[in-house]
A and B are shown apart, each in its own frame.
Chain A
């Protein structure tokens, strides 16, 4: 099981702050993950519709969507950051 955490409008559109999910073995990259997540329901589809607006962090580190997610404890999905 992998802990998924969501932030900002991704969190609002999915309707959850976090959840535990089983990621299928054929989901290798960040892009694979987003494609698979979108099939989990309308809320995920709405939250993740614009792939290039979604950032992915694996165990607290940014990854590119083309990179492998590996087998992390925690994956975060969120929009571009607006701190500072």
Chain B
């Protein structure tokens, strides 16, 4: 089976989870599993007003595309969609979506997990905090746990 062509979008606007799943599941009848991951903005116990997501236009799409192509090569997927937002994002709003579909669930689960682990450490996005008290907060620090997470693959 040739690897599928993943869909990658980097955009300021929101996405519709069910529409993205439907786009991958309506094209074939042999899909037994659709796994989705949605990353959202937390309010950090009320202290955060919003996150400002900066990205590197061009490289963001290219790097997510490279990770998605690896996932598509490694697991027998029937579809893979990755959407990452940028700009100002408020608590409760969506930041990132991964939809992986496959004939069986294991490939879809693993591919979505792999996608997120590499996206967090390699996709050129940076989060800056805007605090609820009106001040501009810090740049969010990268977590060493995220670096460790990629090592298991």
A contact set with B: CB distance below 8 Å:
5, 7-9, 57, 60-62, 76, 78-84
Q: Tell me whether A60 and B59 are in contact in the complex, defined as CB-CB below 8 angstroms, given that A8-B126, A81-B142, A83-B96 are known contacts.
A: yes
Q: Tell me whether A81 and B122 are in contact in the complex, defined as CB-CB below 8 angstroms, given that A7-B54, A57-B56, A76-B59 are known contacts.
A: yes
Is B126 a contact partner of A57 (Cβ separation < 8 A)?
Answer: no
Q: Tell me whether A81 and B123 are in contact in the complex, defined as CB-CB below 8 angstroms, given that A8-B128, A9-B139, A76-B56 are known contacts.
A: yes
Is A7 a contact partner of B123 (Cβ separation < 8 A)?
Answer: no
- Docked pose: A78 CA to B95 CA in angstroms: 21
Asked if B63 is at the interface (CB within 8 A of a chain A CB), the reply is yes
Q: Tell me whether A83 and B116 are in contact in the complex, defined as CB-CB below 8 angstroms, given that A60-B58, A60-B62, A60-B63 are known contacts.
A: no
- Docked pose: A79 CA to B81 CA in angstroms: 27
Asked if B7 is at the interface (CB within 8 A of a chain A CB), the reply is no
> Which chain B residues border A9 with CB–CB below 8 Å?
139
> Which chain A residues border B139 with CB–CB below 8 Å?
8-9, 79, 82
B contact set with A: CB distance below 8 Å:
39, 53-56, 58-59, 62-63, 84, 95-96, 116, 119-128, 139-142
What would 12 A/B residue contacts be, using CB atoms closer than 8 Å?
A7-B126, A57-B59, A61-B59, A78-B56, A78-B126, A81-B122, A81-B124, A82-B141, A83-B126, A83-B127, A84-B39, A84-B119
